[in-house]
Amino acid sequence: MGIPAAFRWLSNRYPKIISPVIEDQPITMDDGTTIPVDTTKPNPNGEEFDNLYLDMNGIVHPCSHPEDRPAPKDEEEMMLEVFRYTDRVVNMVRPRKILMIAVDGVAPRAKMNQQRSRRFRAAQEAKEKEADKQELLKLLKQQNGGTLPHENAETIAKKAFDSNSITPGTPFMDILATSLRYWCQYKLNTDPGWAKLKILISDATVPGEGEHKIMSFVRSQRASPTMTRTHAT
């Protein structure tokens, strides 16, 4: 929900809300071929789930500009990272009936000012980082007689991904929505564990933040006489 340190506070105050997950891994054969995880088998954690709800912004941000590894070089690689991460989560939970993928749409008016200030701050920090990078490039050129090795120049000059692109109405969000639909259709056609799943995609064109759209759907299901009762988020 964008609240700084909220997860750390919650997990410290209520440590039992976190439980370890047994995660099956793909099998790599001697000839190099990989056998994917068979998600039609029972969940190795001993608990089955009907529904899984994913707030995708919590996946898209770390996949597009990770802090623990080099960032993807382009949007295509970012989409592949999003697919891999989402697939891993689905393999861990193994929902049997519904998978809801919710991407943040236009935020409620009450949160717009906070989001606006956060985005302006991110843009200012990105501008300052770019200026520092150009200064470093200039300094290295002076030290090397006006030239740099091609690899070093490419690494330094590479423009960082603008996290403000992950905002409703941007071309990046259009690409994300199209890519998610394509990937989900591919999984439905090729993965037996997905064959009976009902997939719901709420992209950035639908107003509301991801978690709000998820809760709205859950409330509507609770009002249904055919309510499904086991959930994972």
Residue 126 near residue 79 (C-beta atoms within 8 A): no
- CATH numeric code, 19-106+168-232: 3.40.50.12390
pLDDT for res 182? 97
User: In this predicted structure, which of 24-28, 33-37, 224-228 has the lowest mean pLDDT?
Assistant: 224-228
pLDDT score, position 173: 94
Average of pLDDT values for 57-63? 93
Query: Measuring CA to CA, how many Å separate 29 from each of 34, 36, 49, 92?
Result: 6, 11, 30, 22
Q: How many CB atoms lie within 10 A of CB 89?
A: 14
Secondary structure class of 195 (helix, strand, coil):
coil
pLDDT tens readout for residues 183-207: 999 999 999 999 999 999 999 999 9
Of the candidates 58, 40, 56, 148, the one whose C-alpha atom is nearest the C-alpha of residue 94 is 40
Residue 150, pLDDT score: 55
Per-residue pLDDT, averaged over 38-66, amounts to 93
Is a pLDDT exceeding 70 seen at residue 82?
yes
DSSP helix/strand/coil, 231: strand
CA–CA separation, 223 and 201 (whole Å): 21
**Predicted local confidence at residue 135, as pLDDT:** 77
Q: Tokens for 117, please give them.
A: 């200030």
- CATH 3.40.50.12390 boundaries in the chain: 19-106+168-232
